Amino acid sequence: MLALDWGTTALRGARLDTDGRVLEERAFDKGILSVPAGGFPAAFDACFGDWAQGPARACLISGMAGSKQGWVEAPYCACPAGFADVAAQLQWISDPALRLPTAIVPGLNCEHACALPQLDSVPDVMRGEEVQIFGAMHVGGVTDGLFILPGTHSKWAWVRDSRVTRFQSFMTGEFFALLSQHSLLARTIDTTAAFDPQAFTLGVARAGQGGSLLHNAFGTRTLALMARMDAGPLASYLSGLVIGEELHDNALADIRDVVLIGSENLTRRYALAFETLNISARRMGAEATWAGLHALGQHLPAERNPR
């Protein structure tokens, strides 16, 4: 089968054998924002046309390709949701020009109850991460636990009996980028400096003392102003403050271990932060996406099953 991860700014694809092994991988700077309206079939053909003519029996696409701005909108699948729920809601693309059955994987949505007048709940959404969670479950043989996907918008997903029961988004990566590039702190910290684990865990610990990032981030400036910390470690300290705020916003008392899915750089930081709370972390990288799309492929209706 063919597996595609079509995001906002990037497009990645893999050719998988029937056991899910990656036969070939490709990556392009062709995120959905760079594709003109109606241009998705042509973009697909330009990048993967040769693969579509090969022995593959189906193609599954995850990510923002299923959003309003994408190829075909795939409505969100409501939590709790597992493999079968998502497979049943695949959005098959009806385009006669397509050489093989092609479907978009729906994202997940859930509701955070808040019981306020005129606001019963606030919705939450993910697109693409659900496939990585399924992949990590499949690869690790894990059916229950807490899966965390650090990133621009981190996702925390609670999984029970192989279904995502609920999840929560945090703008952690974006806040760090805003603070380090566009705020008053941009002149104070040096984001090119090597990662400083000690300053990072200090930031995590400071965030754990209960104060808001609104206040703690200002401390990054005053520590520099009073020459108590250099520009290099300050970047790691700020990273610790932001990631620490994300961690401490969750009830972690009963958590012993977590699964972290994402880039080496980010999952390493999160693992270090969890270590300070005596929580162990298993880390997974991009392979989770292919494993997830392959696992979903196993749940396709018989007439479209790529096996």
Interface positions with a second copy (CB under 8 A): 112, 114, 116-119, 122-125, 153, 168-172, 174-175, 178-179, 182-184, 198, 202, 205-206, 209, 211-219, 222-223, 225-226, 228, 242, 245-246, 248-249
Between 102 and 154, whose beta carbon lies closer to a second copy?
Answer: 154
Between 115 and 302, whose beta carbon lies closer to a second copy?
Answer: 115
Smallest gap from residue 10 Cβ to a second copy (A): 16
Smallest gap from residue 253 Cβ to a second copy (A): 15
Between 112 and 307, whose beta carbon lies closer to a second copy?
Answer: 112
What is the helix (H) or strand (E) element at residue 132, kind and residue range?
Answer: helix 129-140
Between 31 and 219, whose beta carbon lies closer to a second copy?
Answer: 219
* 269 three-state secondary structure: helix
Angstrom distance (rounded) from CA 158 to CA 306: 29
Smallest gap from residue 205 Cβ to a second copy (A): 5
Between 165 and 169, whose beta carbon lies closer to a second copy?
Answer: 169
Smallest gap from residue 149 Cβ to a second copy (A): 14
End-to-end Cα separation, the chain, in angstroms:
8
186 in Cβ contact with 234 (< 8 Å)? no
* 252 three-state secondary structure: coil
Angstrom distance (rounded) from CA 208 to CA 252: 12
Residues 6+ away with beta carbon under 8 Å from 189: 180, 220, 224, 231, 234, 235, 238
Smallest gap from residue 67 Cβ to a second copy (A): 9
Between 172 and 267, whose beta carbon lies closer to a second copy?
Answer: 172
Q: Which of 266, 281, 211 is nearest to 241 (CA)?
A: 211
- Report the side by side order of strands in the sheet with 108-116: 77-78, 108-116, 119-126
299 in Cβ contact with 163 (< 8 Å)? no
DSSP category for residue 116: E
Smallest gap from residue 127 Cβ to a second copy (A): 11
Between 126 and 284, whose beta carbon lies closer to a second copy?
Answer: 126
* Strand partners of residue 81: 164
Smallest gap from residue 139 Cβ to a second copy (A): 28
* Strand partners of residue 284: 261
